[in-house]
Structure 1
């Protein structure tokens, strides 16, 4: 049927008067009915009544469900849940081409709630592949994981994949054990807040900022003017506070396993492996990775940032052993119906949309406010990807 004819039919909804409609064209039906040829309709069509349409407010989201990827052995009903934590950790819904549009914080909470209520899940493996994200978002994820441990008291093993830095490593420190690939990028124990001064750029276009404000420091960090020294000190104090919070968490979680070096020069891996002095009282000046640097998985193990190097199957086997399960336990993923889940390495398509312009100008989009980040940030595009 032609588009015009359909438009005519839709327009007649609720009309009690006859309307003349012409429906022409070729209609072909092949199959068991055995009808093939031309069909024409010429005459009056009477429609009475009301047409009601119902639209689903969210046509993508469905409740998460367990997807079994390994049946396990031994006939036990106990299972291990692999919870994937991927990409930028920001408390906002993502939007982008091919993206699921998920809020990482909300999705993680939904998975934690499922595990809390499903007592067939005897252990959790956090499969982490993330450079980190917002300070608050990272802390919210860690709080939800801590709540799960207090509620269920089941072992949690974090497995760092390609990247486990910043807020992603912060989350990992709340697990019972951390496994990293030998080639993982680990660490990033630091804080960053991206700010830009565009005063000269605006001046080139004769644009002058004329803010009307009450409260002298309400526009601290505005890119429209040079930041004053006392304003920078205010923001620096906040960054230092969040950094110290990160350090305290590492001290609490890994203190007795961190390798301390009082040397001015960075120790070699062999020196760290042979170090005998280990103490929970680690100062920022004594432990090299507290300066925000990243290291390889092998270096992270030598420094005590992770418990062992290995792969995802090693993390699963470790979690099974901690939970008293067989070495080949049943494994599940927690996914939505429209999210593929063929193996434990599948990643939910959830990437933020960056600017559609050929170039990205940091600080240009003021609808995405900057935030303090636990984030390893070698790529400046992450600055404007989703509020960084």
Structure 2
């Protein structure tokens, strides 16, 4: 079929119009963007005969934009991932996942994924409490720990949840369940670990780096003006005086004592001889953790689910994951990313500079500073 002599190839939008539309959509929030211009397009339609058409439109006036700063992903819902043996409405076991660094803040950046771990943990527990079909909970933990306060809040949330619902809780440790993540885990009725899990890390640290040499290399000098001798205590640009070091050490020791007291209360099988070993804050493999009373058993996530069923007095329960609507979940190992995605493109972490962005006092085991950048265990 020959081309109609009136047909013309599709023309691209005018460059100036593209610039206007880009400017209109660059801002986030509500507002008006004044736009004056003309849009011309020529398109060729093909059927039994060639048809040529020209459409013209004139825009003269403000275009009102209303874009949400952050889209609401909707509430937490129970996503079935393993069918139950009984009819619909039968008993369920819920998996609540705790993954990545435990910080009381959301990942930042234009390509961020995940949520504030403290916020979403509370929301998941509330969703479980509101579902009468859920008879037991497995808290699936894969985390090196995090800030002292975030770890403590999450542990308190779990304690209150257990007291309010009386539901059995089994904490299952995956790759890592160290430091603040272990601080959380001891709040369960049972603590299970995989054969290859690393756990322990009972202690606290202060993420301070002495950057005075690095600052000196660029010719800068830190000279803070303060109202008291300890107002700038821990300044990264100066040496650490002995008196300041002693004050900071006392705070670290206090947080470590709080950690030890929680573990000693929840894990009475840990003997005095075990504490002589564990008091230095070391991490241990699962085989040693069970010998020293840190965990109750070694197994897999399926074993943790079976233990939760046993404690609840049910069998063949449906297993559900607590997820946002649309968040993919097809097995008991499904995980929601909880990190700034842009950092995967440039996973570079400079010790001291990146760590200084974290909260000061930490329940954290992380020998590789890069982990603090990508947010993974």
Bin for the TM-score computed over the shorter chain: 0.7 to 0.9
Give the match for residue 274 of structure 1.
Answer: none
Give the match for residue 330 of structure 2.
Answer: 342
Distance 1:25 1:152, change over 3 A: same
**Is 1:164 aligned to residue 177 of structure 2?**
yes
Q: Provide the C-alpha distance between the structure 2 equivalents of 1:154 and 1:106, rounded to a whole number of angstroms.
A: 21
**Is 1:7 aligned to residue 17 of structure 2?**
yes
**Is 1:138 aligned to residue 151 of structure 2?**
yes
Q: What's the offset of the Cα at 1:118? A: 1.7
Q: Note the alpha carbon deviations across 1:191-212, whole angstroms, 9 max, x for none.
A: 1112111222222222112212
Give the match for residue 264 of structure 2.
Answer: 251
Conservation of the 8 A alpha-carbon contact between 1:164 and 1:187: yes
- Aligned to 2:139, the other structure's residue is in SS state strand
Give the number of the structure whose residues are more often strand, by fraction.
2
Distance 1:49 1:289, change over 3 A: same
Give the match for residue 55 of structure 2.
Answer: 41
Conservation of the 8 A alpha-carbon contact between 1:2 and 1:23: no
Q: What's the offset of the Cα at 1:342? A: 1.2
Q: What's the offset of the Cα at 1:53? A: 3.2
Q: Which of 283, 296, 307 in structure 1 is aligned with 2:285?
A: 296
Q: Provide the C-alpha distance between the structure 2 equivalents of 1:367 and 1:240, rounded to a whole number of angstroms.
A: 20
Q: List aligned pairs for 1:164-313, cutoff 5 A.
A: 164-255=177-268, 257-261=269-273, 284-285=275-276, 288-313=277-302
Could you tell me which runs of 5 or more consecutive residues in structure 2 were left unpaired when the two chains were aligned: 1-10, 24-31
Q: Provide the C-alpha distance between the structure 2 equivalents of 1:355 and 1:211, rounded to a whole number of angstroms.
A: 36
Q: What's the offset of the Cα at 1:357? A: 7.0
Distance 1:68 1:385, change over 3 A: closer
Q: Note the alpha carbon deviations across 1:162-191, whole angstroms, 9 max, x for none.
A: 111101111010000001111111111111
Could you tell me which runs of 5 or more consecutive residues in structure 1 were left unpaired when the two chains were aligned: 263-283
Distance 1:318 1:356, change over 3 A: closer
Aligned pair count reads: 353
- Aligned to 1:295, the other structure's residue is in SS state strand
Conservation of the 8 A alpha-carbon contact between 1:138 and 1:168: yes
Q: What's the offset of the Cα at 1:247? A: 0.7
Q: What's the offset of the Cα at 1:339? A: 1.9
Q: Which of 40, 50, 66 in structure 2 is aligned with 1:23?
A: 40
Q: What is the TM-score normalised by the length of structure 1? A: 0.81
- Aligned to 2:338, the other structure's residue is in SS state coil
**Is 1:119 aligned to residue 132 of structure 2?**
yes
Q: Provide the C-alpha distance between the structure 2 equivalents of 1:300 and 1:156, rounded to a whole number of angstroms.
A: 20
Give the aligned CA root-mean-square deviation in angstroms: 3.1
Conservation of the 8 A alpha-carbon contact between 2:33 and 2:65: no
**Is 1:53 aligned to residue 65 of structure 2?**
yes
- Aligned to 1:133, the other structure's residue is in SS state strand
Q: What is the TM-score normalised by the length of structure 2? A: 0.84
Q: What's the offset of the Cα at 1:261? A: 2.6
Conservation of the 8 A alpha-carbon contact between 1:167 and 1:374: yes
Q: Provide the C-alpha distance between the structure 2 equivalents of 1:143 and 1:291, rounded to a whole number of angstroms.
A: 25
